[in-house]
Structure 1
Amino acid sequence: MSDTRSAAWDEYSKSKPQRRPTNARGDTTWFNWTQYADHGPGAEVLNLKAGDSVLDLGCGSGGNAAHLATPGMKAVGIDLSPKQLAKARERWPDVDGMELHRGDAVAFLRETSTIFDAVYSVFGAAWFTDPGLLLPVVHANLKPGGVLAFSQRPPVEGCYGCQASYIPRGPDEDPAIVKRWDYAPEIWCSLLKEYGFWEVTATVLAACEHDRRTTGTLLVRAVRGDQPRLF
């Protein structure tokens, strides 16, 4: 486990408040793919039902996992940041079926024996992990026909592949730096197909029309094929 990355995400957690008690509709749990509140599709993207198992790669403070566990799914979350996981346990102490682990997403997938019905990442580990390492182990731990879906900011035009993200720290400290992987939608589609995924879509969801920000959200969805990729 990288202490440097853990410290960076602990620092990031300081800037993120706890999820609201309810959303705009009055729901106490909800699923959100985008950086805009009460905007975009929900958990239906994952095509899950009660009793299914689902893995959140970079679960943060646990809001999406709690939403899936509430109707009876087994929601497993993995995150590098102990502070983020502490926030999840504080915010959702009574949610049955939610299991949280501290660790690296690739290492967790290599070690677990669980085959998941769906795997997802919301501005999480799928953005901050080399897809050449992550996609094979997701494929190996996803049932045939299971869904992989992830969201992140769209890439800046011309800035593709491994990029640097800067997380502010104190006024007298340099920012923490973590790597992220940015690709155009068509490149994500090609990569996922190369690693054995079918029915791949990559769409940029427009920003909320009532928000002053204009950056949309890249949402990628794929289905695990019957045959693993041969290495």
Structure 2
Amino acid sequence: MPHAPHTLAQYWDTYMPHRGQGEQQAPTVDRFEWTQFPGHGPGAEMLGQPRSALDLGPAEGKEAVYLARQGIEVTGVDLSPAQVTRARRWWQHVPHLTFVQADARDYLTTTATWDAIYSVWGAVWFTDPEDLLPLIAQHLTTGGTFAFSHAEPTPAAHGPQPMRGKWLEDPHSELTVLRWQYTPDTWADLLKRHGFTDIQVHVLAAPNPGDLGTLMATARRAY
């Protein structure tokens, strides 16, 4: 039984399940996935045609790898040292690809800019948008694309909500992991207020009735 994590980075170190014992094999990457259902919904076309991209919370790094193989310069920033170490090991021979261990907000103090910034059930879901959205807007190139996805909001899960998981169920743990699980209208209002334009936010229904859908959002930095 693992000990309850005491920091957010430790939580993400242990959250993603391991694939059996011993050395893990890199997963197959043949599509850019925004949802939890392989092959469902749009792909990388949501990002336009960027020359550079920033992935906020890449975890295994599959989406970053897909873009890098198209010749796009991609940086993946993840809070978890374990996730970054694994991604670097798996994808070390893929050109145009860099993985960095950092908090998304801290990393976005750099002077770099990107043509696309995106998050697939990643840091945008787990970071206060009042902090994160202004930084993203500052680091997109003019006309650049911001896109993200997260779980469909349910009637009982609007706004910041505690994350659930077996590593958080220890009554002695003091760690609370929040998700900013807003409705499409709330996200659209937030994006507009922070200077984005061409905003499109909707819920993509799951392929099977009864399953949770995916909130999808795209916006651009104003010209």
Structure 2 counterpart SS, 1:169: helix
Aligned to 1:47: 48
Aligned to 2:12: 9
In structure 2, what residue type is equivalent to 1:14?
P
Aligned to 1:223: 220
- Contact 2:105–2:131 at 8 Å: present in 1 too? yes
Tell me: CA distance 1:170–1:128, structure 2 relative to 1, closer, same or farther (3 Å): closer
In structure 2, C-alpha distance between the alignment counterparts of 1:84 and 1:156, rounded to whole Å: 29
In structure 2, what residue type is equivalent to 1:101?
V
Aligned to 2:165: 167
Aligned to 2:126: 128
Offset at 1:93? 2.2
Tell me: CA distance 1:182–1:32, structure 2 relative to 1, closer, same or farther (3 Å): same
In structure 2, C-alpha distance between the alignment counterparts of 1:204 and 1:137, rounded to whole Å: 25
* 1:152 correspondence with 2:150: yes
- Contact 2:143–2:222 at 8 Å: present in 1 too? yes
User: Which structure exhibits the higher relative contact order, with contacts defined as CA atoms closer than 8 Å and separated by 6 or more residues?
Assistant: 2
Tell me: CA distance 1:223–1:9, structure 2 relative to 1, closer, same or farther (3 Å): same
- Contact 2:75–2:99 at 8 Å: present in 1 too? yes
Offset at 1:45? 0.2
- Contact 1:168–1:174 at 8 Å: present in 2 too? no
In structure 2, what residue type is equivalent to 1:74?
E
Q: Count how many residue pairs are aligned between Structure 1 and Structure 2.
A: 215
Percent identity for Structure 1 against Structure 2: 41
In structure 2, C-alpha distance between the alignment counterparts of 1:42 and 1:19, rounded to whole Å: 24
Structure 2 counterpart SS, 1:145: strand
Post-superposition Cα deviations, 1:62-121, rounded to whole Å, max 9, x if no partner, equal 1000110111110000001111112212221210011110010011001x1111100000
Aligned to 1:99: 98
In structure 2, C-alpha distance between the alignment counterparts of 1:15 and 1:174, rounded to whole Å: 24
In structure 2, C-alpha distance between the alignment counterparts of 1:6 and 1:21, rounded to whole Å: 23
Tell me: CA distance 1:170–1:53, structure 2 relative to 1, closer, same or farther (3 Å): closer
Q: Map 1:69-218 onto structure 2 (within 5 A).
A: 69-110=68-109, 112-169=110-167, 177-209=176-208, 214-218=211-215
Offset at 1:163? 1.1
The TM-score normalised by the length of structure 1 is 0.85
Tell me: CA distance 1:208–1:15, structure 2 relative to 1, closer, same or farther (3 Å): farther
- What stretches of structure 2 of length at least 5 have no aligned partner? 1-5
Structure 2 counterpart SS, 1:38: coil
Q: Map 1:30-69 onto structure 2 (within 5 A).
A: 30-49=31-50, 52-69=51-68
Structure 2 counterpart SS, 1:221: strand
In structure 1, C-alpha distance between the alignment counterparts of 2:84 and 2:165, rounded to whole Å: 18
In structure 2, C-alpha distance between the alignment counterparts of 1:16 and 1:160, rounded to whole Å: 32
In structure 2, C-alpha distance between the alignment counterparts of 1:170 and 1:158, rounded to whole Å: 20
- What stretches of structure 1 of length at least 5 have no aligned partner? 23-27, 227-231
- Contact 2:205–2:212 at 8 Å: present in 1 too? yes
Q: Which 4+ stretches in 1 moved above 2 angstroms?
A: 13-22, 169-177
The TM-score normalised by the length of structure 2 is 0.88
In structure 2, what residue type is equivalent to 1:187?
T
In structure 2, C-alpha distance between the alignment counterparts of 1:91 and 1:163, rounded to whole Å: 33
In structure 2, C-alpha distance between the alignment counterparts of 1:16 and 1:183, rounded to whole Å: 31
